[in-house]
Structure 1
Amino acid sequence: METRELRYFVAVAEELHFGRAAQRLGIAQPPLSRAIGKLERRLGVVLLERDGRGVALTGAGAVLLQEARAALDAVEAAERRTRRAALAATGRPAVILAAKAGASGELLAKLLDAYAAEPGAVAVDVLLCGPGEQAPVLRDGRADVALLHRPFDDTAGFDTEDLHTESQVAILPAGHPLSTRPHLRLTEVTGLPDLPLPRWPRPDGSFPDGPGPKVRDHTQLTQLIALGRACAVVPETGRTGLHDGLVAVPVLDAPHVTTVIAWPPHSRSTAVAGLVRAAAAL
C-alpha cells in the first residue's frame, strides 16, 4: 500500500462522504473513487459500503482506518525526527518534551533541573499541550518524549516508566455547600446540576455532548469554576497554586492517576535515555 492511498482512504473513512473527502484532499472525486476501488481490489476486501444514503465503514474498513492512521503518523514522525537529527548534527542538539499545560508542574521543574545536572545533558525544549495532546505529538514526531497520565492518556505503543501515582480531588468554588465537606464521592460531583463537569475537546477538535462548558485549557477551567459555572475532578497535584475562591476536596472513589514518562520504543536517542534515567531517579 502507498501512503497516498492510505491518506485517501482515511479522508473518506473520516468524512464518510466521497465529495467532502475529495474537497478536503484537493482532488476531484472520480480519481478518489478509483483509488479506493483499486485499494479494495488489491486487498481483496470491501472497505466501504456505498448506497444511496451515503458511505459506511465495514469491519475490515474500521481496522484499516486504525492501522492507516498509525502508519501515517509513523511516516510523519520519521520525517520530523530525521530533519531534527540533521539539525542537531549541525547546530544546537535538543530533546523535545511534551507535557500537559497546568499539570505535573512541580515534577516537570524537578526533572528539568535533575537532567540539566547530568553529564552530557542537552537543551530540553518543553512543548506544553492541551488535554490529551501529548500522546499524539509524541506519535507523530513533534516530541521525543512525553509526560502522560494514565488512565486518561493512551500509552499504547510506547515504552513507559511510572513516576508518580496520586488520588484525585474535586475543585469547587469556595462557598459551595460541598466545599466544606472532608471528602466526596464521584456520584456527588458528577451529578451537580449547578456545577456541570467541563467538556474537553476530542483529538479531532470536536466536543462531546453534555451540559458542561467547553474548556480548552487549565486557566479557562479555573476561571469558570471560580465563577460558579463548573467543577472538575483532577489529580491531587491540582491543589498546587489554587487561587482564592477555589477549594479542593478529596474524591474517595475516583480512579488513581499515574504520571508516566513515555518514549517511542525504537528511540536510540541518548538525550531521551538520559531524561528517562533522571525521571526514574526522582
Structure 2
Amino acid sequence: MDTLETRELRYFVTVAEELHFSRAAERLGIAQPPLSRAIQQLERRIGVALFERNRRGVALTDAGQVLLAEARVILDAVAAAARRTLRAASCTNRLTLATKAGANHDLLRKLLDAHAAEPGAAEIEVLLCGMGEQAPMLRDGRADVALMQRPFHSMAGFDTEDLRTEEQVAILPAGHPLAARTSLTMADISDVADLPLARWPCLDGAYPPGPGPEIHDQSQLAQLIALGRTVAVTSASARSWLWSAHVAVPLTGAPPVTTVLAWPAHSRSPAIARLVRTAAQL
C-alpha cells in the first residue's frame, strides 16, 4: 500500500465527522464529486471499506473508526510540526503553557515566579483553555507544556512531572442539607435526586449520559451550583474560586488528584527542560 497523504486523510476525517458528503464538501470548499472519488480511491488503496453507504445515509465501518482515530493523531502531529518549526525559526525564548481557566492558581503562580528567577528562563505565555482542552493543545502544537490532572486527564503520549497531590471535594450550594456535612461519599451525592452531578466532557469531547447539566466552562459551573442546579466533584484546590454561595465538602473514598506538568514525550526543547527542572524543585 502506498503512503497515505495528509490531504486525503483530511478529506476522510471531514466526511467521518459530518457523515454527509455534501456537507463535508462544503466544509472543505470543494465539489462533492471529487471528494467522493478521493474517498473511493483511499478505500481501494487501503483495501477496506471505510464507510457504509445506503439510503439512510453514511456510517463508519469498524475499519473506518480505527482510521478516524489514527488520522486525527496524524493530522495533529503534522499541524504541531509546522507550529513548532515556525516557533523555532522565530528564535524567541518563549513557551506556551495551557491550563484550565481558574484551576491551580496558587501552584501556577509559584511555578511561574520560580521559573522567572532562573537565569536565561524562557518567557511563559499562559493560555487559558476550557475543560479537557490541554491534551489537544499539546498534541497539535498550540501549547508546549500544560497543567493537567491525573486521573481526570489521559497522559498518553506525554512526559510528566508531578507537582501536587490532593483530595477530592464536592462543591455544593451553601443552602443544601449536604453542605452541613463534614464529609461525603460518591454514594451520598448519587442518591440526591434534586442535585444531579455536573457532567464534564470525556476524552473524545462527548458528554457521559445523565440528568446533570453539561459543563462547558468554570463560570457556568459556578453559576449552576450557586443556583442549586448541580453539584461538582473536583480537586480540593477548587476552593480558591468558590463563591459565598458555595461549600466544599471533602469526599472520602475518592482517589486523590495529582496535578502534573505535561509535555510531548518526543520534545527536545532546552526551554521545556529548564521549566521541568524548576517544577521538580517545587
Specify if TM > 0.5: yes
Q: Per-residue deviation at 1:203?
A: 7.2
- 8 Å contact 1:73–1:139 — kept in the other structure? yes
Distance 1:148 1:205 in 2: 16
List runs of 5+ in structure 2 lacking aligned partners. Answer: none
Q: 2:186 aligns to what?
A: 186
Distance 1:113 1:171 in 2: 29
Deviates more, 1:151-160 or 1:197-206: 197-206
TM-score, structure 2 length as denominator? 0.93
Distance 1:230 1:132 in 2: 20
- 8 Å contact 1:98–1:126 — kept in the other structure? yes
Q: Per-residue deviation at 1:190?
A: 2.9
> What do the CA deviations read for 1:131-182 (whole angstroms, capped 9, x no partner)?
0011111111000011111222121111112222222100111121111111
Q: 1:263 aligns to what?
A: 263
Distance 1:155 1:204 in 2: 14
Distance 1:161 1:150 in 2: 11
Q: 1:32 aligns to what?
A: 35
TM-score, structure 1 length as denominator? 0.93
Secondary structure of 1:9's aligned partner: helix
Distance 1:82 1:138 in 2: 14
> What do the CA deviations read for 1:207-236 (whole angstroms, capped 9, x no partner)?
555432343222221222122122111101
Q: 2:238 aligns to what?
A: 238
Q: 2:156 aligns to what?
A: 156
Secondary structure of 1:259's aligned partner: strand
Q: Per-residue deviation at 1:241?
A: 4.2
**Equivalent residue for 1:59, pick from 62, 66, 87:** 62
Distance 1:65 1:23 in 2: 20
Secondary structure of 1:253's aligned partner: coil
Deviates more, 1:20-29 or 1:95-104: 20-29
Q: 1:224 aligns to what?
A: 224
Q: Per-residue deviation at 1:107?
A: 1.0
- 8 Å contact 1:226–1:245 — kept in the other structure? yes
Residue 10 of structure 1 pairs with residue 13 of structure 2: yes
Secondary structure of 1:61's aligned partner: helix
Q: Per-residue deviation at 1:259?
A: 1.2
- 8 Å contact 2:102–2:241 — kept in the other structure? no
Q: 1:177 aligns to what?
A: 177
Distance 1:52 1:202 in 2: 32
- 8 Å contact 1:133–1:203 — kept in the other structure? no
Distance 2:155 2:207 in 1: 22
Q: 1:134 aligns to what?
A: 134
Q: Which residue identity does 2:157 align to in structure 1?
A: G
Are the structure 2 counterparts of residues 132 and 266 from structure 1 closer, same or farther at C-alpha, using a change threshold of 3 Å? same
> What do the CA deviations read for 1:58-116 (whole angstroms, capped 9, x no partner)?
222111111100000001111111111122x1xx4210001111111111111101111
Distance 1:30 1:44 in 2: 21
> What do the CA deviations read for 1:222-263 (whole angstroms, capped 9, x no partner)?
222122122111101112242312111111122321211111
Distance 1:274 1:242 in 2: 33
Q: Per-residue deviation at 1:202?
A: 6.0
Distance 1:191 1:54 in 2: 41
List runs of 5+ in structure 1 lacking aligned partners. Answer: none
- 8 Å contact 1:99–1:126 — kept in the other structure? yes
Secondary structure of 1:240's aligned partner: helix
Equivalent residues, number: 279
Secondary structure of 1:45's aligned partner: coil
Q: Which residue identity does 2:262 align to in structure 1?
A: A
Q: 2:101 aligns to what?
A: 101
